[in-house]
Amino acid sequence: MKNLFLIRHGKSSSNSMKNKDEGLPDNKVYLTEIGKQQAKEAGIFLKDYFENNALDYDSSIMFNSPFVRTRETSDIINEILDIKTKKEDPLLIEHQYGLFSDTDWKITKQKHPEFFEYYNNFYHNDGKFYVRFPMGESGLDVYVRTYLFLDRINKHYNDYENILVVTHGNVIKTFFMNLLDYSPEWFSHEKPINNCAIELIDEEKKIKILRK
């Protein structure tokens, strides 16, 4: 693997707050029309980048999380790139927020005041990475998932020069932690990654922000 492209999905019905009315489970949250346009623009950007840097499409593979919004994003991007080998991996799913998923946090706070007190204590003491959501995951759990995914890549797909991963914001953060030794404190304080942002980690483990 020479190049690892990390791509966050386009704007979704959850990002736009529309899902608070629809109440879909997180894996069913879909792209908005803006999100579809963002994915198209990301695909055009990547095609230009591949051609300008003489990257080989035939030595490229694309992975995505099996959630609807990442499936849609990767499909739209690949309509432009036409990468032949495309796979899904459950290890790439969104950070699981458990009882806090797809709901109004104010209502959740009323229902689970004891957990909110516990969560806030961790959050304000650089513990966001470690605290586990009820019936969900911690950032550490996501870190382990991306470690396992990278291990699988190294064992089975290392002959590909370019690996494209369409996934979720916190998952991308844990890729940085695994590959670049970023700290749990960095995870806690780093700003959210924008929809359809594209970041590249090359074979020398140098990071390039290609598209904000």
Record the tokens describing residue 12, joined without a space: 């979704």
Give the pTM. Answer: 0.92
What total number of domains does the chain contain?
A: 1
pLDDT digits (tens, 9 = 90+) for 18-75: 545 567 888 999 999 999 999 999 999 999 999 999 999 999 999 999 999 999 999 9
Q: Say which residues have a Cβ less than 8 Å from residue 10's Cβ, sequence separation at least 6.
A: 31, 32, 34, 35, 36, 37, 38, 39, 42, 69, 72, 73, 76, 195, 196
pLDDT digits (tens, 9 = 90+) for 109-130: 787 788 878 877 887 777 889 9
The enclosing domain of 143 has a CATH number of 3.40.50.1240
Reference 148, options 178, 185, 110; nearest CA is 178
Q: What is the extent of the structural domain holding 134?
A: 3-211
Taking 50 as the threshold, does the pLDDT of residue 211 lie above it?
yes
Taking 60 as the threshold, does the pLDDT of residue 17 lie above it?
no
